[in-house]
Structure 1
Amino acid sequence: MRKKIKDIAQWLNIDIEELEGYGENLVTGVSIDTRTLKEGDLFIPFRGEKTNGHKFVQQAFEKGASCSLWLKDEPNPPKNVPLLFVEDSETALQQMARMYREELKATFIGITGSNGKTSSKDILASLLSPYYKVQKTIGNFNNELGLPLTILSLDEDTEMAVLEMGMSGFGEIEFLSTLAKPHYAIITNIGEAHMQELGSREGIAKAKFEIIKGLDPEGVLFYDGDEPLLRALVEKTPKLKSKAFGFQSGNDLRICEIETTEKGSRFMVEGDLNGEFFIPILGKHQVKNASGAMLVAKSIGLSDEQIRKGLEQVSLTNMRMQLVPLGDILFINDAYNAAPTSMKAAIEFLQSTSMRNDKWLVLGDMLELGEKERQFHEELADYIDGEKISRVCLFGPRMEWLYHRLSPRFSGRLLYTKDDYGKIVDYIKQYATKDTLILLKGSRGMKLETIINDLQ
């Protein structure tokens, strides 16, 4: 973004006469944190329960900020610096993003879902990058603050904007979608995350489906066609243009078979694309994420061969089915997050792979599951095959439920600890061999990557 202060003032309906001669100064970015603020940024102070961002406004100018917002009811504004006085910082941020979005010529792609949002974002951005100038959501800037910051960070000549949209309750995806106005939208799947707030998988599906609220009238929704809840919602929306991907017949793109190696996944598809493709990523669920990205790329206008070449250089954000060799041991670090659906998919992958024979599970608590959290943890026992899994290590207070379910089948091969990473580290040192493959999987709050860091 490169805008004069007077242009931003007009976006916010501020009288430019109040700018005291600063109106021609250039703003080249937006920041909400002085630690990462760059010269030329507009600083946005937030007033919260623990801290007041206005305390850092002077520091922002010392670091090179070109301008700052200031709440009208906040006393003692600094003198002789360009300030834009607003009623509410969050509303102002969102309004700036809304106005900047209207000026951009980029194709916008919104992605939501219970699991796989970030992986799908990474896959699609990597796939499109050889052919377009692509920018994507950085990290998890996917909420009512993060999405506007992402939009305001887009270069004016960006051709493809791949935006992740997260939520915890009803109405949030609708807000993000109407702000971003995507030309294409993806719903990766429907799982159990946020069951506590939304009550049921049906509720989760309705909340994710809100992404069509801001979808361009000529836009297309791409969705997990193996999910009956999504199919039902699509069928109830007759004017919606849509494409389905997945493993079942009847999808516009069907995954027929998958072959896994230490280098990635080779798979066959039929439908809107046909033939063999390869991604340097592990996991059946990641192939499914790739299939959604392939349909989007096809709709944008890439040929099958361009898509094939684009997929071959895909890379994911760390801690998503990430192979980490550590001495003789090979880890699959999938510890960025976990919910029942993604946990089962990761377990299924480990049990099916032939990369190594001594297969271990190191599992941490799944968080934010509401009243059924005990049931969801205990049910994992039904997916863990004692013939295919050599050893299991469980971490976190909720994993005690799974520990009791597994104990009869894994006597002598099972470790549980409520909060001591060291016990798992010592267990790995004692029993792991050069034939050991260890999957790490747990919710973000469990920080299972600590085990790899401690071993290193």
Structure 2
Amino acid sequence: MTASLWTSDELVKATRGNLHGPAFEISDLVIDSRKVTPGCLFVALPGERVDGHDYVDTALEAGAAAALVSRIPDGLDSTASLLEVEDVLGGLTDIAVAARARASAKVLAVTGSVGKTGTKDSLAAALAAFGSVHASAGNLNNHIGAPLSLARLPKDADYAVLELGMNHLGEISDLTRLVRPDLAIITNVEETHIGHFRDLEQIAEAKSEIFEGLEKDSGLAVLNRDNAHFYFCADKAEAAGARIVSFGRSEDADVRLIGAECGPDGSNIVIRVDGKQLVYRIDGIGMHWAFNSVGVLACIHALGLDLNKAATAIRDVTAKAGRGRQEEIAFGEMGLLLIDESYNASPASVAAALEVLSMTKPKGQGRRIVVLGDMLELGERSEFLHLNLLAKVCGSADLVFTVGPMMDRMGRNLPPMLFGGHGATSDELAELVADQLSDGDVVLVKGSLGMAMAPIVSAIRDLADSNQITPPSAAYGG
């Protein structure tokens, strides 16, 4: 039987809500009725297009122990267990507050322009070598995801790793005051979401809000010493009374990257800490994975834990679907290699993905192919930042497809022999991309979430001679 996370008595106390129906215990909280698990609490959030209250009966029939609601839906069985509150999101936040108050865990918060989710996953793996760990699922990092992740925190967990995201000033401030981390890491400050900000320094200001939740004079701040906004973020951390631990290539970094040999099947990395060298290996592909691992070990160092043990624990953490996962597609004699970066895109993450593509050798006469969708939320800098990718694209790919108006402008400046085609939408382009693929090709698909690049990924997967998708093999080595 799954361990109890909350009892109805505890939830009533936390939310000051009213219990309808029998008392209950829950093992999880979910906000999507399609993801209900037996014994969970279904949180019936209202939305712009759908209202969770319309799915309460579905959730209960699927095994939810109870539902968190702000009104009693019509037609429910009178024996259904409901926790009624004035506002559902407010009720969820109240549960998160109670979870943090009762927790004995050391809480780590992760933010940054790129690399948040990979860093969070690697941190969770590292800390699992020292105790029980609770971590945000996926990228649940906004005003709904962060409270949900915190509300799921078991009271006896040893560590919690929570991702905090934003695209406007003030958003991380609210989240970090809720999470109250013991340690906060900023992976980097880049031009992601710059369309919502005055300049890069204002993005640094928004990221530095994470320090507002640290306990005065006892918090830990882990910062990228190589980033142009290190000193700005360090000033904010010092103002919050945090002790700073830095990482990077800089000679002044507390956890210094000495070298990294990055290949198509992972990286060998050397760091120096307190005058001693540590050599380790990770399976994550690309310099961005190697560099982020140094930030992870800086967090471990800040906590005073064993670096060797942590380095061993993070070895097999790799990219997930939509975030760089590599998949072999059974096609022809040699197959295709799909690099699925379809979840999101920014100038820094596109550059990192192109680096991975350039180091990945196709089979036989295969080619390196890239399908790029627009990078959104870049404001007045959008056209410049898209055109600025030209040199990297030309140096990485043999054939280029584009989706969206900004990538169209970039594509029109490519040498004609490199340009494969353009679509206003991913649906429009998907069939053309699939038709152009040949045995042995390596295909990178990347674009912002709003560009909905998934249909292109699906069209490539549909080329498989079977439904089986296997991990990449060493045959794609350099």
Does the TM-score normalized on the shorter chain lie above 0.5?
yes
In structure 2, the residue matched to 1:172 is: 171
In structure 2, the residue matched to 1:95 is: 94
Alignment of structure 1 residues 266-285 onto 2, 5 Å: 266-272=268-274, 274-285=277-288
Higher mean displacement: 169-178 or 147-156: 147-156
In structure 1, the residue matched to 2:83 is: 84
CA 1:34–1:423 in 2, change beyond 3 Å: closer, same or farther? Answer: closer
In structure 2, the residue matched to 1:318 is: 321
CA 1:192–1:455 in 2, change beyond 3 Å: closer, same or farther? Answer: farther
In structure 1, the residue matched to 2:471 is: none
After TM superposition, give the deviation of residue 223 of structure 1 in Å. 1.7
After TM superposition, give the deviation of residue 352 of structure 1 in Å. 5.5
In structure 1, the residue matched to 2:463 is: 455
Alignment of structure 1 residues 32-431 onto 2, 5 Å: 32-71=31-70, 79-217=78-216, 218-235=218-235, 237-238=237-238, 239-272=241-274, 274-326=277-329, 327-351=334-358, 359-386=368-395, 389-406=397-414, 410-418=415-423, 419-429=428-438
After TM superposition, give the deviation of residue 354 of structure 1 in Å. 6.9
Preserved contact between residue 24 and residue 81 of structure 2 (Cα < 8 Å): no
CA 1:46–1:398 in 2, change beyond 3 Å: closer, same or farther? Answer: same
- Structure-2 separation of matches of 1:6 and 1:312: 42
- Structure-1 separation of matches of 2:33 and 2:430: 34
Q: Secondary structure at the match of 2:201?
A: helix
Preserved contact between residue 27 and residue 41 of structure 1 (Cα < 8 Å): yes
Preserved contact between residue 42 and residue 56 of structure 2 (Cα < 8 Å): yes
- Structure-2 separation of matches of 1:292 and 1:203: 23
Preserved contact between residue 21 and residue 79 of structure 2 (Cα < 8 Å): no
Preserved contact between residue 335 and residue 443 of structure 1 (Cα < 8 Å): yes
CA 1:76–1:324 in 2, change beyond 3 Å: closer, same or farther? Answer: closer
In structure 1, the residue matched to 2:453 is: 446
Q: How many residues align?
A: 444
Preserved contact between residue 280 and residue 313 of structure 1 (Cα < 8 Å): yes
Q: Secondary structure at the match of 1:366?
A: coil
After TM superposition, give the deviation of residue 423 of structure 1 in Å. 1.7
- Structure-2 separation of matches of 1:348 and 1:27: 45
TM-score normalised according to structure 2 size = 0.84
TM-score normalised according to structure 1 size = 0.88
Counterpart of 1:123 in structure 2: which amino acid?
Answer: S
Q: Secondary structure at the match of 2:89?
A: helix
Counterpart of 1:266 in structure 2: which amino acid?
Answer: N
Higher mean displacement: 91-100 or 43-52: 43-52
- Structure-2 separation of matches of 1:236 and 1:103: 28
Q: Secondary structure at the match of 1:255?
A: strand
Q: Secondary structure at the match of 2:29?
A: strand
- Structure-2 separation of matches of 1:328 and 1:70: 50
Counterpart of 2:224 in structure 1: which amino acid?
Answer: D
Counterpart of 1:348 in structure 2: which amino acid?
Answer: E
After TM superposition, give the deviation of residue 30 of structure 1 in Å. 2.2
Counterpart of 1:403 in structure 2: which amino acid?
Answer: G
Preserved contact between residue 43 and residue 68 of structure 1 (Cα < 8 Å): yes
Identity of aligned residues (%): 30
CA 1:382–1:62 in 2, change beyond 3 Å: closer, same or farther? Answer: closer
- Structure-2 separation of matches of 1:102 and 1:116: 29
Q: Secondary structure at the match of 1:333?
A: strand
CA 1:55–1:319 in 2, change beyond 3 Å: closer, same or farther? Answer: closer
Which consecutive residues of structure 2, in runs of 5 or more, have no partner in the other structure?
465-478
Counterpart of 1:197 in structure 2: which amino acid?
Answer: H
CA 1:415–1:40 in 2, change beyond 3 Å: closer, same or farther? Answer: same
After TM superposition, give the deviation of residue 77 of structure 1 in Å. 8.2
- CA deviations over 1:180-225 (Å, ceiling 9, x no partner): 1111111111122222222321121111111111123312111221
Preserved contact between residue 122 and residue 316 of structure 1 (Cα < 8 Å): no
After TM superposition, give the deviation of residue 105 of structure 1 in Å. 1.0
After TM superposition, give the deviation of residue 19 of structure 1 in Å. 4.2
Which consecutive residues of structure 1, in runs of 5 or more, have no partner in the other structure?
none
